[in-house]
Amino acid sequence: MTRYSSLTLKKNVALFGVSLSIAALMPAFAQEQIVKIGHVAPLSGPIAHLGKDNENGAKMAIDELNAKGVSIGGKKIKFELVAEDDASDPKQGTAVAQKLVDEKVKGVIGHLNSGTTIPASKIYNDDGIPQISPSATNPKYTRQGFNTAFRVVADDVQLGGVLGKYAVKDLKGKAIAVIDDRTAYGQGVADEFDKAVKAAGGVVVGREYTTDKATDFMPILTTLKAKKPDIIFFGGMDAVGGPMLKQMKSLGITSKFMGGDGICTSELAKLAGDALLDGQVVCAEAGGVEGNQKKGMDDFGVKYQKRFNSEVKLYAPYVYDAINLMVAAMVKAGSYEPAKYLPVLAQTTGYKGITGTISFDNKGDIKNGALTVYTFKAGKRDVIAIVR
């Protein structure tokens, strides 16, 4: 390879009557600082459709930030998304968490499930890496004393509590049954629902259990049918909730079917097919926008549809907000190093996201988080109310 001294380079440039510094001749990319942001979700397994939805939200945020151009501490930044699959498995979740630490990511968005988010959070905390979950709702996540853990959605105490009260007060449930899938999310939201039903004066006539990989629910549904519930609550995800609705129909069970954000997805209608009756399902999603803020969410949906040729499934907007929020903290701190921007992130107040206004409390939970209560009509989600 031919070697050129700076003097030779200057002479060659001068031959063309052009005055340039050596730095100006360097490729533009060489002057950019690469900043890695990790993202983890299940990209395989029964809820891979939700994991891909999350990853799509991350890609949109990263690409828009790079197109816009971001400078931090006087340096031009190029963000790089490091995406990993935890398959909704806690062991795989901790393995990919360590992988992201080894990759020197400056922050992590994820994981999707509470069952993977909670064990992974210790690994991030031990290395001082900020983590924002866009969807994990189990209260334990932000109650471990880790100053690196944040979430941009309401937790199960609020989610299950609102639905339990709604079941008794609004749906006038007299005999309520509860099923959960034994995951950190499913059991957590079901426990909170159970407590809220009883606190509101309702009666829980049966409590049954399944798993997040089960396909046969006939035994537990047959047991509950004998107790004649007017409402069945399921703590779990849509991949199980859809088939469960089909088996309820085959048994002639017409009870209202309630659940948290895990079943409150556009995919539920496909998974349940003609077993999804108008008004039968009542579910709640953490988050919710009204008035002027609704336009931002609607615009996001249009951009998402155009890019991925698919509707938003559930959490993609929260991932999008989480990345932009993290980067805003870096810019404000003048540093992408976790130790420098973490205190700024913790003090987030009044951040205007497409999912609503985000402020964190001293645990890393969103303050005054909204919930949207939905039903389904003609296979489409239909808003009943937004509550706080």
> And the tokens for 213?
């990989």
- Among the candidates 240, 260, 286, a domain finishes at 286
- Among the candidates 286, 307, 326, a domain finishes at 286
Alpha-carbon separation of residue 169 from 26, 175, 196, 215 (angstroms): 68, 13, 11, 32
Residue 6, pLDDT score: 43
How far is Cα 381 from Cα 281, in angstroms, rounded to an integer? 10
**253 and 296, same domain (yes or no):** no
Looking at every residue in the chain, the average pLDDT score rounds to 91
Collapsing DSSP states into helix, strand and coil, what is residue 223?
A: helix
* Domain assignment of residue 15, yes or no: no
Number of domains in the chain: 2
**Is the pLDDT reported for residue 145 higher than 70?**
yes
> 175-202 pLDDT, tens per residue?
999 999 999 899 999 999 999 999 999 9
Structural domain of 307: 29-153+291-367
**281 and 300, same domain (yes or no):** no
Collapsing DSSP states into helix, strand and coil, what is residue 112?
A: coil
Which residues does 370 contact at the CB level (< 8 Å), separation at least 6? 154, 286, 287, 288, 289, 356, 386, 387, 388
How far is Cα 9 from Cα 84, in angstroms, rounded to an integer? 44
**Is the pLDDT reported for residue 247 higher than 70?**
yes
**259 and 228, same domain (yes or no):** yes
Residue 289, pLDDT score: 74
Residue 317, pLDDT score: 95
How far is Cα 10 from Cα 15, in angstroms, rounded to an integer? 9
Residue 78, pLDDT score: 98
**Is the pLDDT reported for residue 293 higher than 90?**
no
Burial of 219 (0-12, 13-18, 19+ CB in 10 A): exposed
**Is the pLDDT reported for residue 240 higher than 80?**
yes
> And the tokens for 121?
């959070």
> 212-221 pLDDT, tens per residue?
999 999 999 9
**Is the pLDDT reported for residue 13 higher than 70?**
no
Residue 387, pLDDT score: 81
* Domain assignment of residue 10, yes or no: no
> And the tokens for 286?
């953490």
How far is Cα 262 from Cα 282, in angstroms, rounded to an integer? 12
* Beta strand pairing call for 380-387 and 371-377: antiparallel
pLDDT average, residue stretch 291-313: 91
- Among the candidates 231, 257, 286, a domain finishes at 286
**76 and 109, same domain (yes or no):** yes
CB 267 within 8 A of CB 365: no
Buried (b) or exposed (e) across 63-78, using 16+ Cβ within 10 A? eebeeeebebeeeebe
Residue 328, pLDDT score: 98
How far is Cα 211 from Cα 219, in angstroms, rounded to an integer? 13
Give the least confident one: 42-46, 52-56, 249-253, 365-369: 365-369
Sign of CA dihedral 128, 35, 42, 273: positive
Task: Indicate the residue type of 218.
Answer: M
Model pTM score: 0.81
> 81-129 pLDDT, tens per residue?
999 999 999 999 999 999 999 999 999 999 999 999 999 999 999 999 9
* Domain assignment of residue 378, yes or no: no
Residue 35, pLDDT score: 98
Q: Residue 345 carries which DSSP code? A: H
Residue 206, pLDDT score: 97
Which residues does 243 contact at the CB level (< 8 Å), separation at least 6? 215, 217, 271, 272
**140 and 172, same domain (yes or no):** no
Please give the residue that has the higher pLDDT: either 18 or 225.
225
Residue 29, pLDDT score: 45
Q: What is the CATH number of the domain that holds 116?
A: 3.40.50.2300
Alpha-carbon separation of residue 278 from 188, 251, 281, 331 (angstroms): 27, 18, 8, 47
Which residues does 220 contact at the CB level (< 8 Å), separation at least 6? 179, 208, 209, 210
